Amino acid sequence: QVFTFNRVEIRVQPSLEVKNGAPMSVICHADISKNTDFQLKHNFTIFKDGKIVFMTVSDKEDAHYEIPVAKSSDTGDYECIVKADGKLGFSSNSVYVWVAGMTKPILTADKKEVLEGEVVKLRCELPEEVPPLEFFFRKIKTNSAPKEKRVPEQNQNFSEVEYYVEEGDNILQFDCFGKRQVRSGWESSQHSNKTLVTVKPFIKPTLITKPSSNVTEGDQIEFECSTVVAQIRDIEIIFQKNRTILNSVRDKKFLKYSTVATQEDSGEYLCKVEQGAVSKTTKLNVFVSELFPKPTLSASMTKLDENKDLILSCSINGFRRANFSIVRKSSRGDILLKNSRVLAIKVNVNDTGSYACKAEVKGIVKESKPVRINVYAPVSKPTLSVVSGSPEVVLGKPLQLICHSVMGTPPITFTFYKGDEMKKNVTNDTYATFLDEDIGLDDNGGYKCDARNNHSSGVKTSNILNVTVIVPIRDASLGSVPYGEVEVGSDTAFLCSVKEGSWPIDFKFFKKTDHEVLLHEVREYSDRTIWHKKTMKRKDTGTYYCMASNRASVDVRSRPITISVILAAWQKGVIAAFVLTAMAGAGAVALWWFLRKKKK
Helix (H, G, I), strand (E, B) or coil at 165: coil
- CATH for 474-498+521-566? 2.60.40.10
For residue 223, is pLDDT > 60? yes
Find the mean pLDDT for residues 299-310: 93
More confident residue, 192 or 275: 192
Range of 175-184, 341-350, 479-488 with top mean pLDDT: 341-350
- The correct answer on CATH 2.60.40.10 for the domain covering 3-100 is yes
Find the mean pLDDT for residues 76-104: 87
The domain 106-200 belongs to what CATH superfamily?
Immunoglobulins (2.60.40.10)
Lowest mean pLDDT among 228-232, 463-467, 534-538, 571-575: 571-575
Distance CA 388, CA 406 (A): 20
Query: What are the DSSP calls for 449-473, one per residue?
Result: EEEE-SSTT--EEPPPB--EEEPPP
pLDDT band, very low/low/confident/very high, at 231 (cuts 50, 70, 90): low
Question: What pLDDT, on a 0 to 100 scale, did the predictor assign at position 413?
Answer: 93
Q: Across 331-456, where does the E strand assignment appear?
A: 335-338, 342-346, 353-361, 364-367, 371-376, 383-386, 392-394, 399-404, 412-418, 421-428, 431-436, 447-452
Class of the domain covering 206-286: mainly beta
82 beta partners: 44
Class of the domain covering 296-376: mainly beta
More confident residue, 450 or 469: 450
Distance CA 278, CA 268 (A): 22
Q: What is the mean pLDDT of the chain?
A: 88
Distance CA 12, CA 28 (A): 9
Question: What pLDDT, on a 0 to 100 scale, did the predictor assign at position 588?
Answer: 76
For residue 586, is pLDDT > 80? no
Residue 330: count other Cβ atoms within 10 Å of its Cβ. 10
Residue ranges of the chain assigned to CATH 2.60.40.10: 3-100, 106-200, 206-286, 296-376, 383-470, 474-498+521-566
- Give the CB-side neighbour count of residue 294, counting CA atoms within 13 A: 12
Q: Across 165-243, where does the E strand assignment appear?
A: 171-182, 185-188, 195-200, 206-210, 214-216, 220-226, 235-241
For residue 568, is pLDDT > 70? no
Q: Pairing relation of β-strands 556-557 and 542-549?
A: antiparallel
pTM value? Answer: 0.47
**Quick one: three-class SS letters along 16-27?**
CEEECCCCEEEE
Find the mean pLDDT for residues 153-181: 89
- The correct answer on CATH 2.60.40.10 for the domain covering 383-470 is yes
Question: What pLDDT, on a 0 to 100 scale, did the predictor assign at position 240?
Answer: 94
pLDDT band, very low/low/confident/very high, at 299 (cuts 50, 70, 90): very high
More confident residue, 86 or 81: 81
Question: What pLDDT, on a 0 to 100 scale, did the predictor assign at position 171?
Answer: 83
Question: What pLDDT, on a 0 to 100 scale, did the predictor assign at position 91?
Answer: 84
Question: What pLDDT, on a 0 to 100 scale, did the predictor assign at position 505?
Answer: 93
